[in-house]
Amino acid sequence: MTKNTTLCFRTALELKETLKQNANRKAMTLSAFIEHILYEYLEHQEECDGTEKERRQHLRRQTRIPVAVKAKDGRTMKSYAGTIENISLGGVGIAVPDTFTNKVRDASQGTEMEIFFSLPGEEEYIRMHCSLARVLMLNGQEIHLGAAFQNVTPNIFDTLQSFLDNKNTS
């Protein structure tokens, strides 16, 4: 895309300094970094009846955390192994093997499931009830589940917030 116009705006000095520091960490100019932020924001927008609507309510953090997913298989509950690929205060993105595909292919939005995982640096496992938000095929070997957390306790919320705020854990 050709850069053929200028965009100027006023902001707080603290915000400008924070943006500069983040741009430097990414070896980008301030202008390129702000443009990058704007493009990322626009990519996360979802059109709805001609108006723009933010799809996610919380920023997600990329990670690789082993997870056990417990979901209904007919009348019984079965567990499957997967990997949390991103996490936020509102939910998770989970990659699961293709063998799980048949179990969720027909699942509808809102299908309930449970997940069990341990955050890096934490000894205790977290058990979360989730509702399925989306199912996407990534390749022929795995699929991606988007799940929203249900009934998060204050203790788990604080643990997740601490993890999301700490940039030194993966």
Q: What is the Cα 130 distance to its own chain's centre?
A: 14
Query: Average pLDDT in the 105-114 region?
Result: 69
Angstrom distances, CA of residue 121 to CA of 65, 66, 109, 160, 163: 11, 13, 32, 12, 9
Angstrom distances, CA of residue 81 to CA of 68, 131, 151: 5, 17, 23
Residue 45 has pLDDT above 60, yes or no: no
* pLDDT number for residue 49: 39
Start-to-end C-alpha separation, the chain: 34
Mean pLDDT of the chain: 78
pLDDT grade for 11, boundaries at 50, 70 and 90: confident
pLDDT grade for 46, boundaries at 50, 70 and 90: very low
Level-2 CATH architecture, domain 61-165: Beta Barrel (2.40)
Q: pLDDT for 50-101, tens place per residue?
A: 444 445 567 778 899 999 988 766 677 778 889 999 999 999 999 887 666 5
Residue 108 has pLDDT above 70, yes or no: no
Long-range pairs for 130-134: beta carbons < 8 A, 24 or more residues apart:
130/91, 130/92, 132/104, 132/107, 132/108, 133/91, 133/109, 134/109
Look up the pTM and report it. 0.62
